Chain A
Amino acid sequence: MVFALAGNPNTGKSTVFNALTGAHQKIGNWPGATVEKKEGMLKKRYQKAKKPAKVVDLPGTYSLSAYTKEELIARDFVVHTKPDVVIDIIDASNLERNLYLAAQFKELGANLVIALNMMDVAHRRGQKIDVKKLSELLGCPVVPLVADQGKGIDELAEVSLLAAEGKIKQRPISINYGKDLEEELEKLSKHICQDIPALAEKYGPRWLAVKILENDADVISKVCEEDKSICGSGLESFSKDAEERLGEPVDITIASRRYGFINGIIKSSLQKSPEERIIRSDQIDRIITNPLLGIPLFLLIMYAMFQLVFLLGEPLMLGVEAGIGAFASVLVSLLHSVDSPPWFSELLMVALVEGVGNVLIFLPNILLLFLAIAILEDTGYMARAAFVMNRAMQKIGLHGKSFISLVLGFGCNVPAVMAARTLKNEDDRLITILVNPLVPCAARMEVFVFLAAAFFAPEAAGQVVFSLMLISFILIAAMGLLFRKSIAKQEKQPFVMELPPYHVPTLKGLFMHMWQRTKVFVQKAGTFIFLVAIIMWFLASYPQSAEYGGPESYIGMAGHVIEPLFQPLGFDWRGTVALIFGFLAKEVVISAFGVLYGVADDASLGSTLALAWTPLQAYVFMVFTLIYVPCFATIAVIKQETNSWKWAGFAILYSTVLAWIAAFLVLHVGTALGYG
């Protein structure tokens, strides 16, 4: 005796399988596939005096089409092995969705038992299922279950055994596909019975006819193997006739009628209380994704996030700063005690303390920022924010799907540029790629967090970073419009978005997210940034005759050559050099400050910089960093994705020119307003 356990994914199939079989399970793969196969023997207490029953867990599927290997495995098993009973585990709280598979099992002629699992969830959602009515309409036994509490398992085993022994009769059901299609099905069924009787006996002529009209590749190849004469134009003529009569593709009509049949069953057997029908997630979405409220809410959440990051981060940051100061003192004593050569001591102090150490001081703020982003992501809010922004993007000429790429840009512009591949139209792709570097990536956020904390009080620092986000959005909109008008007109490409459900984030999940990102940040500080700091130290220390970081040092000479370009923005040669090194990776900007401004023993980098720059200069620097080209990796990917150095070069040029103009305007408007 064989029981096949089927069902949609996530319906509690494994729980039912374990409850029916206990510990006696065999795990392997389905022949010719890497899909897991589980088998077990029905517990002895259920079998009593009856024949032993093997329970086979079929792969979780939504239908019995031939589109995936899981569907084919499930279908072939039912057809070839002919299990004594097929137990279809259904999620009672999503009855409509789950009945699609059940209807297909009935069409296939399986000896079906419906296990209506998660009855408690359905009850909580205010759904009342008339189990008796459902059983009548489906023509098979229906057993209500709460599998994870063990409720209903005994009844399921008992009913399945009775069904397998033929003591519970099945009533065959036949979905009415409509007059036009039914006539076509009848004609085709007759041909099948005459020409391929062996297959007709195995699958049933009507089922084969439906599948042929659905254009099921697996069935068509089986039919062709059996009888070549019916193959090709012979089969196609049936589909064509039906299509002409229906005025639409047959597979669409068949699936639609099947859903119609299920709707009929649902109307007769399921009562939903109106106030419970709209589940909480939908209610929240009505506010969060509201066309009028969505964007103001998003901006409010962003504002609150930055404010919290700086207000909570300030005391923690002072603690880390004290720790790095203590480490520097220990390092100095240690180097002194081992008589380390002066150049080596200087190198270590510059690269480790002033380069890497100054990046790490801002770790608490970065950590809090990552935590806030992790909360927004894990709750499912980020997906909503992206969806809300998408509406606005459509208005400015960006393709709807661009937002997927732009959202990823908040993490890193490299995968974000690559994500533009989802856009089929070349012009849409190009525009998305070109505006993507204007999205502030995590590395640039680190620079903003560092400078905002150094130059502004914690209450104002959050507002400063928030204002940079607003500038970013405005520029994305403006450049999107400009590129759309100058590169290509928008082609309508509508789509629908499935948003993930809201979740209460788990502490473990949040910690994992935060830790993964922080780990990357710390690793980068300890490797790449350390290495760049060493290179910068070398360039600032040599030639030997030059004063450290003076105009005669290599870095000083290069800085002075470029300085005139950035002087109108108020940057000295050190700021200019930091921006140039920022092309390698944005975090390097912070360590460049440490190396180039040569922090005094008793001062922090923030306080040293605050003596050299005004808050307005710092803000202008942030605006430039926000807009100019993110890093060489992004440029390399732009070249790879556009397959053109021309567009990669254009991305560098336009973003740098735009950054220069924006920074210039901010400097002069700020000065005019008295912030200078």
Chain B
Amino acid sequence: MLKKILMEIDAGCGSVRELSDRLGIDGETLSLQLRSLVQQGYLSEHKTHSCRGCPFTASCPGSSNSCTAGTSFSLNKKSRELLAD
């Protein structure tokens, strides 16, 4: 199942909902499986909290931006090697 998730991600970008539709599994479970793949080193996770640590936060009009874009999970070297095999 987890390898199938990686293969589906490799097939094209999309949302977790679209991916869960393609795989026929619950969105919540898919989220957990994606995190499991992150922990195992097969996916890279990116959250959009980029204002943190920015030296201009105090003077920036957009610095109160909340998390606007959610979390993205992308394939990395380890998963690409796995899929290439």
Contacts and interface: CB of A to CB of B under 8 A. Distances in A.
Task: State the majority secondary structure of interface residues on B.
Answer: mixed
A97 interface: yes
Contacts of B31: 97, 498
A616 B8 CA distance: 51
Task: State the majority secondary structure of interface residues on A.
Answer: helix
Contact of A520 (B10, B39, B61, B73): B61
A248 B59 contact: no
Interface string A490-501: 000111111110
Interface string B53-71: 0101101111111111111
B1 interface: yes
Contact of B40 (A96, A255, A405, A415): A255
Contacts of A647: none
Contacts of B54: 414-415, 418
A252 B19 CA distance: 18
Which range contains the number of B residues in contact with the other chain? Answer: 35 or more
Given A67-B39, A97-B32, A497 B14 contact: yes
Given A259-B29, A496-B13, A516-B64, A401 B46 contact: yes
Interface in A387-411: 387, 390-391, 394, 400-401, 403-405, 407-408, 410-411
B62 A415 contact: yes
A265 to B, nearest CB: 12
A404 B68 CA distance: 8
Given A382-B68, A383-B68, A410 B15 contact: no
Contacts of B61: 411-412, 441-443, 446, 517, 520-521, 524
Contact of A255 (B2, B13, B19, B28): B2
A498 B70 contact: yes
B70 A497 contact: yes
Contacts of B1: 256, 259-260
A541 interface: no
Contacts, number: 190
A261 B1 CA distance: 12
A400 B69 CA distance: 12
Query: Which of B15, B19, B26, B33 has the most A CB atoms < 10 Å from its CB?
Result: B15
Contacts of A442: 61-62
B72 A94 contact: no
Which range contains the number of A residues in contact with the other chain? Answer: 35 or more
A672 B45 CA distance: 52
Contact of A513 (B13, B14, B39, B66): B66
A97 B73 contact: no
Contacts of B82: 248-249, 252
A385 to B, nearest CB: 9
Contact of A498 (B10, B13, B71): B71
A259 B33 contact: yes
B68 A386 contact: yes
A6 B26 CA distance: 23
B11 A494 contact: yes
B13 A528 contact: no
Contacts of B11: 494
Given A412-B62, A496-B9, A497-B15, 20 more contacts: A97-B32, A249-B82, A256-B2, A377-B65, A383-B68, A383-B70, A386-B68, A387-B69, A391-B13, A400-B13, A411-B61, A422-B72, A494-B75, A495-B9, A495-B75, A496-B16, A513-B64, A517-B61, A524-B59, A524-B61
30 contacts: A62-B35, A62-B36, A68-B39, A252-B42, A255-B36, A282-B17, A377-B66, A382-B68, A386-B68, A387-B69, A391-B13, A404-B48, A404-B69, A407-B69, A411-B61, A411-B63, A411-B65, A412-B61, A412-B63, A414-B56, A415-B50, A418-B50, A419-B48, A494-B12, A496-B73, A497-B14, A498-B34, A499-B16, A513-B66, A520-B63
